[in-house]
Structure 1
Amino acid sequence: MAFLKQAPADHPQATMVEAAGLRWLAQAAQDGGAPVVPVLAASPGEASAADRSPGPPARRGELRLQELTPVAPDPEAARDFGAALARTHGWLAAQTTDAPGFGALPPEHPARTPAYFGPADQPVELGTGVHDSWGAFLAAERLDPVLAALESRITREDARLLRSAREKIGSGALDDAEPPALIHGDLWAGNVVWASTDSGQAQGVLIDPAAHTGHRETDIALLHLFGLPQLDAVISGYQQQHALREGWQERIPLHQLFCLSVHWLLFGASYSGPTLSAAESVLELASRSSR
């Protein structure tokens, strides 16, 4: 059985972007990384006119995925998923000594197409630049497009706080020695499906990625955003495979700020409090790191 997704009318390449991310993550899965929902077929949408005039596409892009059978996870399956996720994060460095910088997109990412983040029917367009600094990447390619769209809807005081956090991140003050890692990029609980294997066991399967080379703590932080069943066991398995740098719990708000900002932009002011709290935490982290 196949599960069909269609691209939004104004983003005809969205299905190809998602397929490219899934296929990149699947390469890591072949080497022991986290399982990924198989792509059965993918096709882009087509413009309504040869001259590319505005208007809905004549045909919407389609993505066919293998249908998954959800099951309840158990601690063993969760630990296995955590260890596999750690192997996904370490996969890129194991493939080459000349890894790309932060922000590299999947090899099959469509040319002249932005990166996307958010719901399939309402994707947010992001930048595609690649940076040596993780902070510079996050600020320029992720936060800047979202804050530019958000600022006209919020108070000047809130905008100043978000911009201050963005400037601290962009300065590199919160960078560390972590190399660019292949990450899912949108790893909230809904994008981990606990599915049944052929033997009837549960396993965590990745869906709906915003795959790129980023900081591995971003995936870990997003797993904490809305809660994940058996999360403690997932983290235990991850730590046994590839331990996180000391203090990672304190940096969760840093890695959640972008995602929370997108939620504020798309879903309204109910996300203002968590977003502003994350921005305040970023400034506090930066202040402690400079002492």
Structure 2
Amino acid sequence: MAGVSASEPTYAKSVPGASQGYAEWEAAGLRWLGEATAQGGARVVGVRDVAPDRLLLDRLTPAPPSVAAAEEFGAGLAATHLTGAPAWGAAPPGWEGEGWFGPASDPLPLEVGEWSTWGELYAVRLASLTRLAVDGGELTTAEAAEVDALGEHCAAGDFDTSDTPARIHGDLWSGNVMWTPDGVVLIDPAAHGGHREADLAMLDLFGAPHLDRVHAAYRDAAPLDDGWEERVGLHQLYPVLVHAVLFGGGYAGQAMRLVRALGS
């Protein structure tokens, strides 16, 4: 990793043993999201260099979360989303092949490409995870059939909104939201053309500081379609199923509760 002064503060993120292309995938996502920062979008950690087994990133200094930073982040996230993407499921520009979602040590493939609607994209992703969960013994075939039925409703457009493809972080849980003296900085994305409600639902899934202020600032900048509260569980289903596949435990039960709530 040449071209970086030894005096510049950097952080080397090691991804030994990660799936081929994972480091490059993450770097592509960071750069794509970073392009939106100049248009008022959320801050993103800078990429200095990338190699197959590691990333060299700007070093971030932690700071306590604040209401002001939360509100700035909410508005910035809205601006990032509104810079858009060329299609539902679109990968960052220049990326070829499948994407990745989950921890660098054991990521799962993330389908990327071009779909005509968000529901069609989501149905494909749910079906892929359901097969993995059945193969790993986390879901029964009967439970998988319930997820598949929900996927059919998605593919039919039952949950589509007026949104166009957004430029989303894709893995926006609180651990990927870094609070610094300059405000929030995003790390570790699975960036693609997706539904902006997915990023907000992911923040809700595990909680985040001053989340109510993040939401309020976001909706002031970019109002959501009516009924967004009822769709939170739908968008959380994908990451919960990922957790079921990777970690087992109670995540499968949580996923099925989300599925049945959406069908009630």
TM-based fold match above 0.5: yes
| 1:1-291 → structure 2 map (5 Å cutoff) | 1-9=9-17, 11-44=19-52, 61-92=53-84, 100-109=86-95, 111=96, 113-140=97-124, 142-152=125-135, 153=137, 154-197=139-182, 203-284=183-264
Tell me how far apart the structure 1 counterparts of residues 50 and 78 of structure 2 sit (CA, whole Å).
28
Superposition CA RMSD, Å: 1.4
Question: How far is 1:228 from its partner?
Answer: 0.4
Q: Which whole-Å deviations, capped at 9, do the CAs of 1:115-154 have from their partners, x for residues lacking one?
A: 10000111101222310110101111x2222111111212
TM-fit CA distance, 1:114: 1.3
Amino acid at match of 2:194: G
User: 1 CA distance for matches of 2:118 and 2:237?
Assistant: 14
- Contact persistence 2:18–2:104 (CA under 8 A): no
Q: CA deviation at 1:269?
A: 2.8
Query: Which position in structure 2 is the counterpart of 1:50?
Result: none
CA distance in 2 between counterparts of 1:79 and 1:125 reads 33
Question: How many Å apart are 1:251 and its aligned residue?
Answer: 0.8
Aligned to 1:225, the other structure's residue is in SS state: helix
Q: Which amino acid aligns with 1:85?
A: L
TM-score of the two chains, using structure 1 as the length reference: 0.84
Distance in 1 between the 2:261 and 2:11 partners? 40
Once the two structures are TM-superposed, the CA of residue 230 in structure 1 deviates from its matched residue by 0.5
Q: Distance in 2 between matches of 1:268 and 1:260?
A: 10
Note if contact 2:100-2:107 (Cα within 8 Å) is conserved in structure 1. Answer: yes
Unaligned runs of 5+ in 1: 45-60, 93-98, 198-202, 285-291
Could you tell me whether the CA contact under 8 Å between 2:91 and 2:113 is conserved in 1? Answer: no
- Which has the larger Rg? 1
Please say if residues 18 and 107 of structure 2, whose CA atoms lie closer than 8 Å, have aligned partners that are also in contact.
Answer: no
Match of 2:114, SS state, is: coil
Q: Deviations over 1:29-69 (max 9, x none)?
A: 1111000011111123xxxxxxxxxxxxxxxx221111111
Give the match's secondary structure for 1:224: helix
Given that 1:188 and 1:226 are in contact with CA atoms closer than 8 Å, whether structure 2 keeps it comes out as yes
Letter in 1 for 2:236: Q
* Contact 2:112/2:192 (8 A) holds in 1: no
CA distance in structure 2 between the partners assigned to 1:224 and 1:23 by the alignment: 25
What is the TM-score when the length of structure 2 is the normalising length?
0.92
Aligned residue type for 2:173: W
CA distance in 1, matches of 2:222, 2:142: 40
Note if contact 2:60-2:180 (Cα within 8 Å) is conserved in structure 1. Answer: yes
Give yes or no for contact 2:119–2:156 (8 Å, CA) kept in 1.
yes
